[in-house]
């Protein structure tokens, strides 16, 4: 499928584009060891999540919306120096982020005493094909980020005239550093709007035998899931971290008809 992004004409040359999530894997994932000693296994080395396709696959789904400029965080204040032209669109935001009233998350587990609820502004509109919605979540497995994005679902086949705003709870008021331009702030996965039917049953004899066979393979060998689901890459070390063809497409352009 094609995901269509549009931005204000005056800002086209000043914005980092949305990127496929598979192109935004963090450096720590590549740098982490493939094996690590486990005290539960007598300090024997065991495989880490670097070898776990579901762990990595989840991080590579959809696309990332990114921060348009460096944001400095110090002393509980967020600041930036981002010189951009005046947008042609009169109501268009010019700041990379703004804030939500903390009262909007009162009564939820997201509420933290004295913590900010920041709002990452989006400078791109997003249009999906009919019947598709956009699931927006915190970048998967990115607990290294000092905020936690508040998840949501947007019907971007219908609601696509303005950019989506991405609210997030700031986690650590003592955090000091720079959020760099191009840093992923929201992971977005297109999902078809289809009603689920949940079917319950019991395992028949064949199902029980297959369950036992698979459980024994998982307990006695390594790499079974990868060999089963992607035999063409199962023998290549580091295969879960290698980029492949992106299903569907991402289309960038300045504001205009899709």
For the record, the structure tokens of 70 come out as 């460096």
Residue 236 has pLDDT above 50, yes or no: no
Of 143-147, 230-234, 254-258, which range is least confident?
254-258
Q: Could you identify the residue written with the tokens 């997003």?
A: 126
Average pLDDT value for the chain: 88
- Which residue blocks in the chain are alpha helix, DSSP H? 27-31, 53-59, 205-220, 224-229
pLDDT tens digits along 164-195: 999 999 988 889 999 999 999 999 999 999 99
3-class secondary-structure state, position 229: helix
How many helices and strands, by DSSP H and E, does the chain display?
4, 17
2-37+45-199+244-254 fold? Deoxyuridine 5'-Triphosphate Nucleotidohydrolase; Chain A (2.70.40)
Q: What is the pTM of this model?
A: 0.87
pLDDT at 258: 34
Per-residue pLDDT at 220 = 86
Q: How far is CA 208 from CA 56, 110, 164, 215, in A?
A: 29, 42, 47, 10
Could you state, in order of their start, the residue ranges of all structural domains in the chain?
A: 2-37+45-199+244-254
| Closest among 9, 19, 6 to 163, alpha carbons compared | 6
Tell me the C-alpha distance between 133 and 155, whole Å: 4
* pLDDT per residue as tens digits for the range 69-90: 999 999 888 999 999 999 999 9
């Amino acid at each position: 499928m094609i995901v269509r992004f549009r931005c204000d004409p005056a800002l086209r040359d000043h914005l980092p584009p949305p990127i496929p999530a598979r192109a935004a894997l963090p450096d720590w994932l590549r740098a982490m060891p493939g094996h690590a000693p486990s005290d539960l296994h007598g300090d024997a080395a065991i495989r880490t999540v670097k070898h776990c396709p579901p762990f990595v696959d989840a991080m590579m789904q959809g696309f990332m919306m990114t921060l348009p400029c460096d944001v400095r965080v110090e002393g509980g204040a967020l600041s930036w120096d981002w010189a951009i032209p005046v947008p042609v669109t009169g109501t268009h935001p010019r700041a990379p982020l703004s804030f939500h009233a903390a009262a909007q998350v009162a009564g939820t587990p997201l509420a933290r005493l004295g913590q900010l609820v920041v709002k990452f502004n989006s400078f791109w509109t997003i249009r999906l094909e009919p019947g598709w919605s956009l699931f927006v979540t915190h970048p998967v497995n990115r607990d290294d980020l000092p905020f936690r994005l508040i998840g949501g679902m947007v019907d971007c086949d219908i609601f696509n005239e303005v950019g989506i705003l991405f609210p997030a709870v700031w986690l650590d008021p003592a955090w000091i550093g720079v959020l760099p331009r191009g840093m992923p702030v929201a992971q977005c996965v297109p999902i078809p709007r289809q009603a689920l039917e949940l079917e319950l049953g019991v395992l028949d004899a064949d199902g029980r035998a297959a369950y036992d066979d698979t459980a024994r393979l998982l307990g006695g060998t390594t790499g079974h899931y990868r060999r089963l689901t992607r035999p063409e890459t199962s023998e290549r070390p580091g295969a879960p971290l290698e980029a492949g063809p992106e299903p569907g497409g991402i289309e960038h352009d300045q504001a205009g008809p899709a």
